[in-house]
Copies of this chain bind each other. A is one copy, B any other.
Amino acid sequence: ASLLGEWQRRNATRTLPHCVDQLDASGALDNLRRVTGEVGGAHQNMWFADSDVYKTLEAAAWQLGRTPDDAALRSFVDSTAALLAGAIDADGYLNSHITLVKPEQRWQELHWSHELYCAGHLIQAAVAAARAGVGAELLPTARRFADLIVARFSAVDDVDGHPEIETALVELYRVTGHRPYLDLARRFLDLRGHGLLNGERFGSAYLQDHVPVRRAQAVAGHVVRQLYLLAGVVDVAVETHDDELLDAAHRLWDDAFGAKTYLTGAQGSRHRDEAFGDPYELPPDRAYGETCAGIASFQWNWRMLLATGDARYADEMERALHNVIAGSTALDGTHFFYSNPLHLRTGHDGSHEDAPSQRLPWYSCACCPPNLARLVASLSGYAVTTDHSGLQVHLYAAGTVETTVDGSAVRVSTRTDYPWDGRVELTVATEAPLVLALRMPGWCPVADVRVDGAPVQAGAVRDGYLRLRRDWSGGATVTLDLPMPARVVRPHPRIDAVRGCVALTRGPLVYCLEQADLPAGVTLEDVRVDPAAPIAVDRLADIPVVLRARGAIEQPGSAALYTASAPTAPRTEPLALTAVPYFLWGNRVPGPMRVWLPVTTTG
């Protein structure tokens, strides 16, 4: 199986069942059962734990669309849909924490209550179920809540401290065609930034309430909130043809991806407040890079891609997917990182749960694992799009797409070992002429493309897509060769935290050094890489492609933390380096790891 296919299989067989188990173990499902009266006792877990249920439900719905015979999953979806139908108030309200703990505070603490955030995830689950044709009870339940929200918030000026409802309402509009959902989404976007939220604890920028998004110049505050908001911004902009909103999204994208994104696609430079940092503040060791932020970035870029057709957004989806997102789950499918640093130091104190030295089975704030499950279960929906003129391939993976373009059946079968290998063979079968658009990844300066063996001119690339416009009747095989040499990547000189370092990459994959591949007794921080030496491609037992580079151990000439003396030459010893894909780190022995490698002093 290809890498993405294997990931989806693992998600279905390991991660998703694990999430379902944890919902029960953590009391998240019981909270809803307490609302119906099936279970007694006090509310447990986070006040927004309903959203864990909804995200898992969304994942299950996507997965059932792929594997409709999964009886256990169907039972989870149906029983949970029934539970929600039973738990929803007569007036359409649904939030176990408010209902059980402080019903008098309904809608009164929106800066912190996550009521609309949870509602948004319920709606997303219902949209997924409707699209997958499962859990028929979910959409009516979600609509009852959505209709209550429309009734109240069309009249009251208020917004939720955690964006999510905006994009959910647009999606619900897309599924139902009911315009008030879209109108309210737009209203929420425009109410934000006027100080409606109590920002006492974290400040208004944390909540993206410091400036209206149409006027914002920079991404700010809590990363996941900012990115979910921007997904909603693009959704509303596209559905209402609002160029000003789309311009704002472009502006904030330039800021985020021009100065506030890690090489792995991770975002969030600060643990404190889970925030974006200042421009070029990108410390590898203290990267917060929350898993949910990687997913949110993927989703925002997806919307930007659909709105513009520009491959650079697909490049960022790919970067995040294969690095920060892929790395957040262990190979066993049941252990996860919440934070995804690019450097785990020798001597790291990983006792605090948001920066552990290895992946954990669950978190007290469990937003990430079910978010992973829903993304991976729906991954195939992001690989290919169609429009009236043809079919666009954004992410390369082995598999078959069967769809229609302008009324004609089209079947595209892809054979590839991507991202381990850059050769992609697409066999196109359709009777109608259409444009097959193939993404030319930004990391790949020159590609070789052939149709049935005949070279294709690269001149046909526009917005990062090679457009093959032809009559495919009788079928044809397109061969795409994306050369994948190891590449030495340098950072912008304003990224002070990685000055004098390079990173090794190959194709879309970022590589890292792990303690496990160093000789005994070597401190990772003393290792240097020679960026001018050739890098060989090799394999290890469990890792299809590793990079073999040349470097050195440079032991400091002095133990002094600071010295005004002339620099003492380090004690240098050559060292052969083995770099492994970042997304696989920490799957052998837990230990120090780093992506950015200081270059040899003499190299």
Contacts and interface: CB of A to CB of B under 8 A. Distances in A.
A559 B490 CA distance: 12
A561 B348 contact: no
Interface string A150-184: 00000000000000000000000000000000000
B270 A563 contact: no
Given A272-B272, A491-B561, A505-B564, A280 B443 contact: no
A208 to B, nearest CB: 13
Contacts of A523: 494
Nearest to A354: B272
Nearest to A284: B496
Interface string A364-384: 000000000000000000000
Nearest to A563: B490
A548 to B, nearest CB: 18
A270 B503 CA distance: 25
Nearest to A345: B278
A495 interface: yes
Interface stretch (A49-57, A107-115, A242-250, A258-266): A258-266
A176 B570 CA distance: 54
A433 interface: no
A352 interface: yes
A423 B493 CA distance: 41
B346 A259 contact: no
Interface in A566-589: 567, 570
A271 interface: yes
Contact of A492 (B489, B500, B503, B556): B556
A202 B526 CA distance: 32
B505 A203 contact: no
Contacts of A348: 278
Contact of A280 (B271, B489, B525): B525
Contact of A351 (B205, B285, B525): B205
A498 to B, nearest CB: 8
Contact of A283 (B286, B347, B499): B286
A6 interface: no
A592 to B, nearest CB: 10
How many chain copies does the complex carry?
2
A554 interface: yes
Interface in A440-474: 443
B554 A525 contact: no
B285 A281 contact: yes
A470 B230 CA distance: 77
A563 B525 CA distance: 23
A277 B345 CA distance: 10
A462 to B, nearest CB: 21
A489 B562 contact: yes
A43 B147 CA distance: 43
B496 A285 contact: yes
A273 B352 contact: yes
A598 interface: yes
A560 interface: yes
Interface in A177-205: 202-203, 205
Nearest to A279: B347
Nearest to A524: B494
A85 interface: no
Nearest to A344: B278
A210 B503 CA distance: 36
A343 interface: yes
A349 interface: yes
B494 A556 contact: yes
A220 interface: yes
Given A490-B567, A561-B492, A281 B286 contact: yes
12 contacts: A202-B352, A203-B352, A270-B272, A279-B346, A280-B345, A285-B496, A490-B564, A491-B562, A493-B556, A494-B523, A496-B501, A496-B598
Shortest Cβ-Cβ A-B pairs, 8 listed: A271-B272, A487-B564, A278-B345, A500-B500, A499-B500, A494-B525, A279-B347, A272-B272
Given A257-B561, A259-B561, A278-B349, 16 more contacts: A202-B352, A261-B561, A270-B271, A278-B348, A279-B346, A286-B286, A487-B564, A490-B562, A490-B567, A492-B560, A493-B570, A493-B598, A495-B561, A496-B501, A496-B525, A496-B598
